[in-house]
Amino acid sequence: EVQLVESGGGLVQTGGSLRLSCAASGFSFDDYAIGWFRQAPGKEREEVSCISPSEGTTYFADSAKGRFTISSDDANNMVYLQMNSLKPEDTAVYYCAAAMEEYFYYADYNERCKGHTFTSWGQGTQVTVSS
């Protein structure tokens, strides 16, 4: 059974940093892509960043480019989202999700790091950025 557990959220001031962690179990990183998504109150879920650990390819939403980095620790089935220069608009619940690579790469490039490509989701971790 695929399981994903997020941690590392919290309250931070504008300009601060947080590192989110996603602990994955029940599957091999060779077969899945991992993504980070977020949902703010009253807004739709949106993609933040994705990674294919086996290929080393990464994807970033425009809002994350230059501020966030994504990485994986394949030996320990962990994926991290390092978030720097945080802004109040980054406030949201952040979710980790997994997609089988055969579906991830089957999708058009611009559709890969989208929520509908991912089938397994964690419970989320709250990130709050104060102004």
- Compute the distance between CA of residue 81 and CA of residue 69 in angstroms, rounded to an integer: 6
Amino acid at 77: N
pLDDT at 32: 94
User: Which residue(s) pair with 75 in the sheet?
Assistant: none
Separation in Å, CA 91 to CA 2, 35, 53, 119: 27, 18, 27, 24
* Secondary element (H or E) of residue 110: helix 109-112
Rounded Cα distance between 74 and 71, Å, is: 9
Mean pLDDT, each 10-residue run in order, the chain (131 residues): 96 98 91 96 97 92 97 94 98 97 88 93 98 91
